Each structure stands twice: as C-alpha cells, then as structure tokens.
Amino acid sequence: MIVAMTRWLTPEEQRTWRAFLAASRALMDTLDRELQRDAGMPHAYYEILVRLSEADEHRLRMSDLADLTGSSRSRLSHAVARLEEAGWVRRENCPSDRRGQFAVLTRKGFETLAGAAPGHVEGVRQHLFDPLSPAQIDQLCRISEVLLDHLVPERPTS
C-alpha cells in the first residue's frame, strides 16, 4: 500500500496563499458592492452583459455563455431569467436545435451596460491597477495566465 505524504505549505507559501485568497475576495467583494450601488446589479450580471455585448449580433447560445462566464447551466439560466425581468436580455429558441436557446442583449441592456461600464472600469483601475507598478501588472498577468492554463487548459479565450 502506498501512502502519499502530505506536502504541507511552507510558511512563505502559507503567507502567499492567504494573501492571494484575501486579496481576491476583497477585490471581487469591493467591485460587486460598487456595481450594486452604482448600477443595481451584481458583478455576475455585469459579466453576462459584457459577454453578450462583445458577441456577434449581441447573442450567444446559453451553453456558450455559461462556459464563458464560468457558470453552471442552471445558475446562468437563473441569472438570465432575472436579466429578462429587467428587460436587459431576451431568450430566443435555436432554430437548428430545439433544446438550445440564445441569450440576446436588448437595447435597454446595452444602454444599462454602457451606463455601468465607466464606473466599473474606474473601480477596476483604482482597486487593481493603480496600486501596482507596470512590472507588477505584467507579473500578475503572467501568473494569472499560467494558473488559468493549468486549471482550465481548454478554456474559452473570448
């Protein structure tokens, strides 16, 4: 019988892990609070609107949208239902697949996104980029890409 040895974190690794975890949570919580306050939506809804705004004809299959946002199908379906209630998104049936649906960004949704984007971008700049040097920003990008390639090797890139 082979017993694997636990590879405990060194004190420096533990410090790094806890700092990364706390910083990630604090950044996302701050951005989420700001979007709720300024635009009346959580960050997850904002990301859905952004992905639709960047897509051809402002529409994506629900399954593709779930993949792009890193969301489960059921969680995305619930979010899209809320966005439909707000008039920001509508669903359309897929003509080639009776089970498939598209999420489509409406004009109202695009206008809502356009109104929310400047404040959100300023928040990202203020809370993520402004405290870092150009070299640290480059390091953060490289580290993030390595982690993504390791954790999600076949991730969507758009």
Residue 129 pLDDT? 97
**pLDDT of 36 higher than 60:** yes
- Hey, where are the domains in the chain? 30-116
98-156 residue pLDDT tens: 788 999 999 999 999 999 999 999 999 999 999 999 999 999 999 999 999 999 877 65
The pLDDT value recorded for residue 1 is 60
Q: What is the mean pLDDT of residues 47-63?
A: 96
Residue with more model confidence, 16 or 94: 16
Q: What is the pLDDT of residue 86?
A: 96
Assigned CATH topology for domain 30-116: Arc Repressor Mutant, subunit A (1.10.10)
Supply the pLDDT for residue 95. Answer: 82
pLDDT averaged over every residue in the chain: 93
Give the 3-state DSSP-derived string for the chain, with helices as H, strands as E and coil as C. Answer: CCCCCCCCCCHHHHHHHHHHHHHHHHHHHHHHHHHHHHHCCCHHHHHHHHHHHHCHHHEEEHHHHHHHHCCCHHHHHHHHHHHHHHCCEEEEEECCEEEEEEEEECHHHHHHHHHHHHHHHHHHHHHHHCCCCHHHHHHHHHHHHHHHHHHCCCCCCC
pLDDT for 156 equals 55
